[in-house]
Amino acid sequence: MVGWDAEQGITLTLARGDTTLLIELEPLDPARDCYARTALFNVCVRRQFAAGHDLSELDHHAMDQLVRLVRDREADLPRFDRPTTNRRSLVREIEVDRVLVPEGAGHYYVDPYVGCMIGCEFCYVGPRADLSRRLEGLPELAWGRYVDVKINAAEVLRRELPQHPPGVLRMSPLVTDPYQPLESHYRITRQCLEAMVGTGYVPTILTRGARVVDDLDLLTRFPRAAVGFSIPSDDDAMRVRFEPGGDPIDERLDALERCSRAGLATFAVIQPVLPMNVERLVDLVAPWARAVRIDRMHDIPRVRHLYDAAGLGWAAEPAFFDRTIAELRERFAARGVPYDELDDMTSVLGLAPG
């Protein structure tokens, strides 16, 4: 086991040779696909840095042992009566004793915060982060209504960085957005970047926040650094419908251009694909992005109401995603912008360690 995390459900990373398995224990949900179910969890697994690869016999063996272990021990997990709260939102300053999470193959991540006040309703993290809060006995609050600020993250990171071989360190939306509005006040993401300068680690950021440009002075001090923006449509009306807490699309596009002009390795993540003018979006993004990743909206039943309220039921259908993704891929390819097939943007950008 090379890494673990308990902030978005329970996550374990197993590595052997070139194979890295990311295992996620999500809240039990019989309606969702997973590798196996236990009394409390959906146990999910995927190969890291090799999307689409089937599990080998050895991978299955490791997984079956792990599932057995979880079944044997899950009864020991604490069960709290969750306290109630009448707070509409809650920002807590917390101290942590670890912040750098190894992902295998020279990849790491850091979450400067837990929780995200941008609060996109489609965010897949909410139910998993709530599982972690439940295991800690914290009150239930809707996703987007709470943030834990890791007030000592940079200090801990300074201590942890020399304990590992330098590699790619991503601060991307796992259980937070590193440039959510609170970053303007707390500057935890900036402090973490400051801790990384001169260490050989390569920062990789993905955000819906244009305020990342406030840190251009710092990011350009790294010999290699990558910044990407989630840009799911060219149409800001879609942003208002689906991610009203995110920065306007034109501000993200402007920030993408500024990062590119500053010499950073820039990328765009078109996800979740929303109704758009494909040609226009590609025209706006292609000049400033060195690579793109494109993906559909997942877990449609959870967000069906957003589509219905907007009269956009057709855009929740598989045919819309298949058609739009194919067209996006074709048009980006025609503009010479490579597509991230393996869910490993750092390889596409030429930043991968080794």
Binding site residues, ligand SF4, CB under 6 A: 116, 118-120, 123, 125, 173, 176-177, 208, 243, 246
Minimum Å gap between C-beta 264 and ligand SF4 is 20
Residue number with CB closer to ligand SF4 (66 or 118): 118
Neighbours of 192 (CB within 10 A): 26
Minimum Å gap between C-beta 17 and ligand SF4 is 32
Determine contact, residues 62/30, Cβ cutoff 8 Å.
no
Residue number with CB closer to ligand SF4 (102 or 173): 173
Residue number with CB closer to ligand SF4 (40 or 117): 117
Minimum Å gap between C-beta 326 and ligand SF4 is 24
Residue number with CB closer to ligand SF4 (24 or 177): 177
Residue number with CB closer to ligand SF4 (63 or 123): 123
Residue number with CB closer to ligand SF4 (250 or 330): 250
Minimum Å gap between C-beta 116 and ligand SF4 is 3
> What's the chain look like in SS3?
CCEEECCCCEEEEEEECCEEEEEEEEECCCCCCCCEECCCEEEEEEECCCCCCCCCHHHHHHHHHHHHHHHHHHHHCCCCCCCCCCCCCEEEEECCCCCEEEEECCEEEECCEECCCCCCCCCCHHHHHHHHHHHHCCCCCCCCCEEEEECCHHHHHHHHHHHCCCCEEEECCCCCCCCCCCHHHHCHHHHHHHHHCCCCCEEEEEECCHHHHHHHHHHCCCCCCEEEEECCCCCHHHHHHHCCCCCCHHHHHHHHHHHHHCCCEEEEEECCCCCCCHHHHHHHHCCCCCEEEECCCCCHHHHHHHHHHCCCHHHHCHHHHHHHHHHHHHHHHHCCCCECCCCCHHHHCCCCCC
Minimum Å gap between C-beta 142 and ligand SF4 is 11
Minimum Å gap between C-beta 8 and ligand SF4 is 10
What lies within 8 Å, CB to CB, of 217 at 6+ separation is none
Residue number with CB closer to ligand SF4 (26 or 177): 177
Q: For the chain, what is the radius of gyration of the CA atoms?
A: 20
Minimum Å gap between C-beta 171 and ligand SF4 is 11
Residue number with CB closer to ligand SF4 (47 or 293): 293
Minimum Å gap between C-beta 250 and ligand SF4 is 17
Residue number with CB closer to ligand SF4 (72 or 299): 299
Minimum Å gap between C-beta 65 and ligand SF4 is 32
How far apart CA 148 and CA 145 sit, in angstroms, is 11
CA distances from 206 to 79, 173, 177, 180, 240 (A): 35, 6, 8, 11, 20
